[in-house]
Copies of this chain bind each other. A is one copy, B any other.
Amino acid sequence: MSGFRFFRRTPKLIQEHPRVCTALLLTGISGGSLLAFTEHKAYAHSNEGDSKKKKVVVLGTGWAGTSFLKNLNHPSYEIHVVSPRNYFAFTPLLPSVTVGTVEARSVVEPIRNITKNKPFDTQFREAECLRIDAENKKVLCRSSQDTNLGGEEHFEVDYDYLIIALGARSNTFNTPGVEENCHFLKEVEDAQRIRRTVVDCFERASIPSISDEERKRLLHFVIVGGGPTGVEFAAELHDFVTDDLASLYPLLKDHVQITLLEAADHILNMFDKRITTFAEQKFRRDGINLKTGSMVTKVTDKAITTKERATGEIKSTEYGMIVWSTGIGTRPVITNFMKEIGQGNRRALATDEWLRVEGHENVYAMGDCATINQRSVMADITEIFSKADKNKTGKLTVNDFKDVIKDIFERYPQVEIHMKRQQLKGFNALLQNSQTSSKKEVIDIEVFKNALSEVDTQMKNLPATAQVAAQQGVYLAKCFNNMEECEKNPEGPLRFRGTGNHRFHPFRYRHLGQFAPLGGEQTAAQLPGDWVSIGYSSQWLWYSVYASKQMSWRTRMLVVSDWGRRFIFGRDSSRI
A113 contacts which of B148, B197, B207, B248 (Cβ < 8 Å)? B248
A280 at the interface (CB under 8 A from B): no
> In the complex, what distance in Å separates the CA atom of A103 from the CA atom of B100?
14
A209 at the interface (CB under 8 A from B): yes
Please provide the chain A residues from 271 to 312 with a CB less than 8 Å away from any CB of chain B in the complex: 301-302
A109 at the interface (CB under 8 A from B): yes
A contact residues, total (Cβ < 8 Å): 65
Please provide the chain A residues from 537 to 576 with a CB less than 8 Å away from any CB of chain B in the complex: 553-554, 557-558, 561, 565, 568-569, 572-576
Q: Which residue of B lies closest to A144 (CB)?
A: B203
The segment out of A23-31, A63-71, A150-158 that lies at the interface is A150-158
- The interface residues of chain B lying within 8 Å CB-to-CB of A149 are 200-201, 204, 218, 320
Please provide the chain A residues from 499 to 554 with a CB less than 8 Å away from any CB of chain B in the complex: 553-554
> In the complex, what distance in Å separates the CA atom of A192 from the CA atom of B105?
12
Q: Which residue of B lies closest to A109 (CB)?
A: B574
- The interface residues of chain B lying within 8 Å CB-to-CB of A576 are 87, 104-105, 108, 188-189, 192
> In the complex, what distance in Å separates the CA atom of A452 from the CA atom of B188?
66
Please provide the chain A residues from 208 to 255 with a CB less than 8 Å away from any CB of chain B in the complex: 208-210, 214, 218, 247-249
A186 at the interface (CB under 8 A from B): no
- The interface residues of chain B lying within 8 Å CB-to-CB of A37 are none
- The interface residues of chain B lying within 8 Å CB-to-CB of A208 are 123, 125, 155, 157
- The interface residues of chain B lying within 8 Å CB-to-CB of A5 are 247
A248 contacts which of B112, B557, B572 (Cβ < 8 Å)? B112
- The interface residues of chain B lying within 8 Å CB-to-CB of A104 are 576
A343 at the interface (CB under 8 A from B): no
- The interface residues of chain B lying within 8 Å CB-to-CB of A389 are none
B110 near A572: Cβ-Cβ < 8 Å: yes
A203 contacts which of B145, B249, B569, B575 (Cβ < 8 Å)? B145
A206 near B125: Cβ-Cβ < 8 Å: yes
A209 contacts which of B154, B189, B200 (Cβ < 8 Å)? B154
B112 near A203: Cβ-Cβ < 8 Å: no
Total copies of the chain: 2
- The interface residues of chain B lying within 8 Å CB-to-CB of A116 are 247-248
- The interface residues of chain B lying within 8 Å CB-to-CB of A218 are 149-150
- The interface residues of chain B lying within 8 Å CB-to-CB of A153 are 204, 207, 209-210
> In the complex, what distance in Å separates the CA atom of A86 from the CA atom of B206?
11
A85 at the interface (CB under 8 A from B): yes
A21 at the interface (CB under 8 A from B): no
Q: In the complex where A108-B572, A572-B105 touch, is A558 in contact with B554 (Cβ < 8 A)? A: no
> In the complex, what distance in Å separates the CA atom of A301 from the CA atom of B208?
42
A575 near B126: Cβ-Cβ < 8 Å: yes
- The interface residues of chain B lying within 8 Å CB-to-CB of A157 are 208
A199 at the interface (CB under 8 A from B): yes
- The interface residues of chain B lying within 8 Å CB-to-CB of A247 are 5, 116
A143 at the interface (CB under 8 A from B): yes
Q: How far is the CB of A108 from chain B (nearest CB, A)?
A: 4
5 contacts between A and B (CB under 8 A): A86-B199, A86-B573, A103-B103, A126-B204, A554-B569
Chain A residues close to B by CB (< 8 Å): 5, 85-87, 100, 103-105, 108-110, 112-113, 116, 123-127, 143, 145-146, 148-150, 153-155, 157, 188-189, 192, 196-197, 199-201, 203-204, 206-210, 214, 218, 247-249, 301-302, 320, 553-554, 557-558, 561, 565, 568-569, 572-576
Contacts beyond the supplied A85-B575, A153-B209: 20 A-B pairs with Cβ under 8 Å: A87-B576, A104-B576, A105-B572, A105-B574, A105-B576, A110-B248, A110-B572, A112-B248, A124-B206, A125-B206, A146-B196, A149-B200, A150-B214, A153-B204, A155-B207, A189-B576, A192-B576, A553-B569, A554-B572, A558-B565
10 tightest A-B CB contacts, nearest first: A87-B574, A126-B203, A155-B209, A112-B248, A554-B569, A145-B200, A108-B574, A145-B204, A110-B573, A149-B204
